[in-house]
Amino acid sequence: EPEVTQTPSHQVTQMGQEVILRCVPISNHLYFYWYRQILGQKVEFLVSFYNNEISEKSEIFDDQFSVERPDGSNFTLKIRSTKLEDSAMYFCASRDSDYGYTFGSGTRLTVV
Amino acid sequence: AQRVTQPEKLLSVFKGAPVELKCNYSYSGSPELFWYVQYSRQRLQLLLRHISRESIKGFTADLNKGETSFHLKKPFAQEEDSAMYYCALKQGGNTPLVFGKGTRLSVIA
């Protein structure tokens, strides 16, 4: 069964540093998403991406965040100048037009 | 705005007992409803979607538009069902999934 792949599985970074979280969506999927889950809290939508541009973003997705699809396969989330409160699990998801979302296994980001 | 409510943070049942995980939603249109499961430290996995009306791992869920509910049910719980369960709602088009806060199901042997 095809999978969404995320790397790294765990990233530790110092406050103020930039991080890039990587995702390889399922190859024939058209819609891409980033979600995050702060420990003990619910899964929150960050941003959706379609046709090489952001289609929707939440209040959480401020100027600190950016997304890119630099080539035909990768989908990245960049967090500039990380803060302690950015510590969370970040999930990438993709879907085609007809089916539900397929999530990656997540990247645990720890900001120290 | 759409909202998904899962009133129980934790649900403990004995093995073999029936399970019902509650989910209520608020949305004025025709939503798509989903149940996702997250086993310990693993990815979110799609369990059910209401439009497919299928049964996965013995779980079923019926969309009740009158009560705006999409409760997840299983007649006989198994230990391997222990996990976090998230109800999620999606409007039409390319709108994002909105998740409930999740219910942790613990099945006791």
B45-64 per-position pLDDT tens digit = 889 888 777 778 899 998 89
Cβ proximity of B14 and B77 under 8 Å: yes
Instruction: State the pLDDT at residue A23.
Output: 97
Q: Which fold has domain B3-108?
A: Immunoglobulin-like (2.60.40)
Strands A5-7 and A19-24: antiparallel
What are residue A78's DSSP bridge partners?
A20, A66
The class level of CATH for A15-111 reads mainly beta
Interface check for A45 against chain B (CB to CB < 8 A): the answer is yes
Cβ proximity of A46 and B98 under 8 Å: no
User: Is A24 a residue whose pLDDT tops 90?
Assistant: yes
Q: How many beta-carbon pairs under 8 angstroms link A with B?
A: 48
Chain B nearest-CA distance from A112, in A, is 21
Instruction: State the pLDDT at residue A13.
Output: 97
Written in H, E and C, the secondary structure of chain B is: CCEEECCCCEEEEECCCCEEECCEEECCCCCEEEEEEECCCCCEEEEEECCCCCCECCEEECCECCCCECCEEECCCCHHHCEEEEEEEECCCCCCCEECCCEEEEEEC
Domain ranges within chain B, ordered by starting residue: 3-108
Instruction: State the pLDDT at residue A89.
Output: 94
Q: Each residue of A25-81: pLDDT tens digit?
A: 998 888 999 999 998 888 999 999 998 899 999 999 999 999 999 887 899 999 999
B99: chain A residues, CB-CB within 8 Å: 35, 42-45
Chain A nearest-CA distance from B72, in A, is 17
Instruction: State the pLDDT at residue B65.
Output: 87
